[in-house]
DNA sequence: CCTACCGATCGGTAGG
DNA sequence: CCTACCGATCGGTAGG
């Protein structure tokens, strides 16, 4: 009954993302991945260099989405509230539309080789800086609470956003747009 | 150079918690665990039934700590703000004092057998209910914001608390007591 | 808790 | 992308 079709490298990476998200990197074998694609584990090596390279690619794709968001909101640096609103909305959109990559990014980065991991940690730090800068600018401009502990608030906001992958369900009561709005106002209440 | 001492079952479970937290369940072999304890992988079977039973025990210990907290705060049901304060403070204390178990509980529960996993999910749901009840009582009593979306706020509060294991560092600028206080007030600002 | 092992599975390769 | 493999490692057991 298995449907035999030619598989692209894109298919391999996307399916790897799904399996790594569901079973974890170490819980997924190359034969598991082959099975999911309708081919043998050994045949995967015609598409990719190896298992770790596949993990690195899945994670790099996730990281690129968040990085693009940080770059995008940089243009709004004169309006910190709008910057924060866009960061929250963009994060929710990325996670809800790329749940597998987001999960692998958050849970499996530690299994990357040191060289790959270093690059990902660097991107994560730059992403965090986008939030910290928006909060700091908002405090300086008087639109957020004076004396706000900016590093702490940054951590809490990212805690909320990074937990989305745990509980977001497409069939849940709120659409991604609802979530973006409600999460933004929850945070805004706490920091103003 | 390796120090040979007699190992207790307690040593095995605690070391398994550390390795499962650091490398993940599927990233830890019974030989890895034996090495960390100064004995052979095969010798572990004198102490435990098998690898999955070891995971179940590490997670059950973590779950028991949270369950005890939920039971404890039930006594304060007439004072929802105090109830929430104690839930947050208790959660921070449990995580900061049992970081390995908390990590395994959060990340490796999905690798339990269906029977073991079902019990853990049940406990987690009861723990979540303690937060939901405190918030609902607070809204009913008029101490929290009228019209607060209680299920949503519950999820956000637990998102914040469950992310602690990601960023808490004993050498960080805030003590666990500082964190408990600051996290509580962050949440309180958002829900009042 | 060690010795000595078991069958199964792992990531990966040579050659087509 | 398959055939036919490789050496290494996996969780686990029998017997002491």
Q: Which residues contact B171 (CB under 8 A, 6 or more apart)?
A: none
Which nucleotide shows the minimum CA-to-C1' distance to residue B52? Answer: D11
Gap between the Cα atoms of B154 and B133, Å rounded: 9
* A45 CB closer than 7 A to any strand C atom: yes
CA distances, A152 to each of A33, B160, B182 (Å): 40, 12, 9
Q: Reply yes or no on whether the pLDDT at B1 is more than 60.
A: no
Tokens linked to A37: 């694609």
25-44 of chain B touching strand D, CB 7 A cut-off: 28-32, 41-42
B174/A152 CB distance under 8 A: yes
Q: What is the dihedral of CA B50, B55, B61, B65, to 10 degrees?
A: -170
Phi, psi at residue B13, to the nearest 5°?
-65, -40
Q: Which of A25, A159, A189 sits opposite B189 (nearest CB)?
A: A189
CB A66 within 8 A of CB A120: no
Q: Which of B27, B162, B190 sits opposite A190 (nearest CB)?
A: B190
Gap between the Cα atoms of A159 and B163, Å rounded: 5
Mean pLDDT of A161-180: 97
Q: What is the DSSP string of B99-126?
A: HHHHHHHHHTGGGS-HHHHHHHHHHHHH
29-88 of chain B touching strand C, CB 7 A cut-off: 34, 38-40, 42-43, 46-47
> Which of A110, A121, A156 to probe by mutation at the B interface, max B CB count within 10 Å?
A156
B163/A162 CB distance under 8 A: yes
Q: Reply yes or no on whether the pLDDT at B143 is more than 90.
A: yes
Task: For residue A74, give the DSSP letter.
Answer: G
* A29 CB closer than 7 A to any strand C atom: yes
Q: Reply yes or no on whether the pLDDT at A1 is more than 50.
A: no
CB A191 within 8 A of CB A149: no
pLDDT at res. B6: 84
Q: Reply yes or no on whether the pLDDT at A13 is more than 80.
A: yes
B159 interface with A at CB cutoff 8 Å: yes
- pLDDT bucket at A5, cuts 50 / 70 / 90: confident
Model confidence pLDDT, tens digit, residues A87-144: 999 999 999 999 999 999 999 999 999 999 999 999 999 999 999 999 999 999 999 9
pLDDT at res. A157: 99
Model confidence pLDDT, tens digit, residues A57-79: 999 999 999 999 999 999 999 99
Grouping H, G, I as helix, E, B as strand and the rest as coil, residue B175 is coil
Model confidence pLDDT, tens digit, residues B68-113: 999 999 999 999 999 999 999 999 999 999 999 999 999 999 999 9
Note the strand D nucleotides within 7 A of protein beta carbons. Answer: 1-5, 9-14, 16
Gap between the Cα atoms of A72 and A185, Å rounded: 21
Find and give the residue nearest to C5, measured CA to C1'. Answer: B42
- pLDDT bucket at B44, cuts 50 / 70 / 90: very high
Mean pLDDT of B106-125: 97
């Amino acid at each position: 009954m298995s449907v035999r079709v030619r598989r692209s490298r894109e298919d391999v990476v996307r399916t790897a993302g799904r399996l790594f998200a569901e079973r974890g990197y170490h819980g997924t074998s190359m034969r598991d991945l082959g099975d999911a694609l309708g081919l043998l584990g050994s045949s995967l090596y015609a598409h990719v260099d190896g298992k770790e390279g596949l993990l690195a690619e899945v994670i790099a794709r996730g990281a690129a989405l968040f990085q693009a968001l940080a770059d995008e909101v940089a243009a709004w640096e004169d309006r910190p509230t709008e910057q924060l609103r866009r960061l929250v909305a963009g994060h929710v959109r990325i996670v809800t539309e790329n749940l597998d990559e987001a999960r692998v990014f958050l849970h499996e980065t530690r299994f990357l080789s040191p060289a790959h991991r270093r690059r990902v940690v660097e991107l994560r730090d730059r992403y965090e800086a986008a939030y910290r800068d928006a909060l700091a600018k908002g405090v300086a401009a008087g639109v957020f609470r004076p004396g706000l502990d900016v590093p702490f608030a940054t951590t809490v906001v990212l805690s909320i956003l990074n937990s989305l992958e745990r509980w977001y369900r497409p069939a849940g009561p709120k659409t991604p747009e609802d979530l973006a709005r409600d999460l933004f106002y929850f945070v805004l209440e706490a920091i103003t």
